[in-house]
Structure 1
Amino acid sequence: MQRTIERYSMYTKEIPIHKLEMEQRTQHLMIETANMFKNIEFLEVSKRKLLGQGLGSCSVEELQEIGSQLEQSLKNIRARKAQLFKEQIQQLKVKERMLLEDNKQLCEKCTGSGKSWQQLLIQRRNAINDSAPNNQCSKVVTELFIGLPQNR
């Protein structure tokens, strides 16, 4: 019986320690949560200012800081955009070289007259230019019949 009482006493002494630790943890988490809410509010206000909203309460220095942040953002965006365009141009140049090589091989297969593929290409361009309309309007007469063929 004495042993059981001793075990009970030990157990009840441990419980307040756990409760105290839990209360401290809870208090710490509540403080951390409050700080996070403050940070979120600050970020939302900053975002609104960068979007041009809520600027009425800003001082000249704040407005200049926002302007410089926006200018830096624009520089970064333009640099990334230029980089993407350069990459696309390089890809297109590689594709152009491949297509020209394919065209050269096809021209060499098709020609038996001894003409080079450049000469054939020039002839082809001339043919296309000659067949292009000369900005003259030509009238095309069409007739539309509605109904069965025997009624025409």
Structure 2
Amino acid sequence: MVRGKTQMRRIENATSRQVTFSKRRNGLLKKAFELSVLCDAEVALIIFSPRGKLYEFASSSMQETIERYRSHVKDVQTDNSSSVEDVQHLKHETATMAKKVELLEVAKRKLLGEGLGSSTIEEIVQIEQQLERSVCIIRARKMQVYNEQIEQLHAKEKMLAAENAILTEKCLTQTDQGIEEMRPDLRVADYGDQNSDVETELFIGLPERKTKERWPK
């Protein structure tokens, strides 16, 4: 015989309702016991019958389990309260930052000469003074940058002059060494020229006579 599906609604017949309560209660207590033993879980079960009779099961101490439950619920509520407070604080901070950004944008537009229609004469004078102070600071910074660049160029000029002097000295030294190396060759060449003189004089007569004339006794 196939068991029909039980409809999830209140049983109208009192006798059937009592019988179902007894069966389901015993089964629920049995399941709670099995869960505590098989899974080593702390289980506490409280049941009140329709007539107000108490049925309970606790794997350890019912009172300790209830206290543990209350403590856990309290912690959860505290965490939730803290989370809500954090969210509210963040919303407040966001709104404050948005207002500051808006004020900064308005001040920036006024410094650029925009949105001055609603400004009073005092505000315009303050903006003018602020711009003058800013221009003075910018000019001072510009002069400082110029002076730093000039100092860097002077230092670079000195460094290049020193390098040029070193290169000039090296060049002169190499030139002197080259001249010294060329002098022996020049002396040899002069000596060779002196020894290679050739008589090109034209004379008439016998060679002996010429010899006598050049070398008198």
**TM-score by shorter chain over 0.5:** yes
Question: Quick one: structure 1 residues 7 and 84, their matched pair in 2 at CA, closer, same or farther if it must change by over 3 Å?
Answer: same
Question: Counterpart of 1:16 in 2: which secondary structure?
Answer: helix
CA distance in 1, matches of 2:78, 2:167: 87
Unaligned runs of 5+ in 1: 113-152
The structure showing larger relative contact order (alpha-carbon pairs under 8 Å, at least 6 residues apart) is 1
Match of 1:53 in 2: 114
Match of 1:72 in 2: 133
Match for 2:150: what amino acid?
I
For residue 99 of structure 1, report the CA deviation from its aligned partner.
Answer: 2.6
**Structure number having the greater strand percentage:** 2
Match of 2:81 in 1: 20
Match for 1:31: what amino acid?
H
1:3-152 to 2 correspondence within 5 Å?
3-108=64-169, 109-110=171-172
Please provide the CA RMSD for this pair. 2.2
Match of 2:9 in 1: none
For residue 96 of structure 1, report the CA deviation from its aligned partner.
Answer: 1.8
Question: Counterpart of 2:117 in 1: which secondary structure?
Answer: coil
Unaligned runs of 5+ in 2: 1-57, 176-217
Question: Counterpart of 1:54 in 2: which secondary structure?
Answer: coil
**Structure number having the greater helix percentage:** 1
For residue 95 of structure 1, report the CA deviation from its aligned partner.
Answer: 1.8
CA distance in 2, matches of 1:20, 1:89: 65
Match for 2:85: what amino acid?
Q
Match for 1:11: what amino acid?
H
For residue 98 of structure 1, report the CA deviation from its aligned partner.
Answer: 2.5
Q: Note the alpha carbon deviations across 1:90-138, whole angstroms, 9 max, x for none.
A: 11112222233333444453497xxxxxxxxxxxxxxxxxxxxxxxxxx
CA distance in 1, matches of 2:128, 2:152: 36
Question: Counterpart of 2:136 in 1: which secondary structure?
Answer: helix
CA distance in 1, matches of 2:155, 2:77: 75
For residue 21 of structure 1, report the CA deviation from its aligned partner.
Answer: 2.1
Match of 1:122 in 2: none
Match of 1:128 in 2: none
Question: Counterpart of 2:113 in 1: which secondary structure?
Answer: coil
CA distance in 1, matches of 2:101, 2:66: 53
TM-score in terms of structure 2 length: 0.47
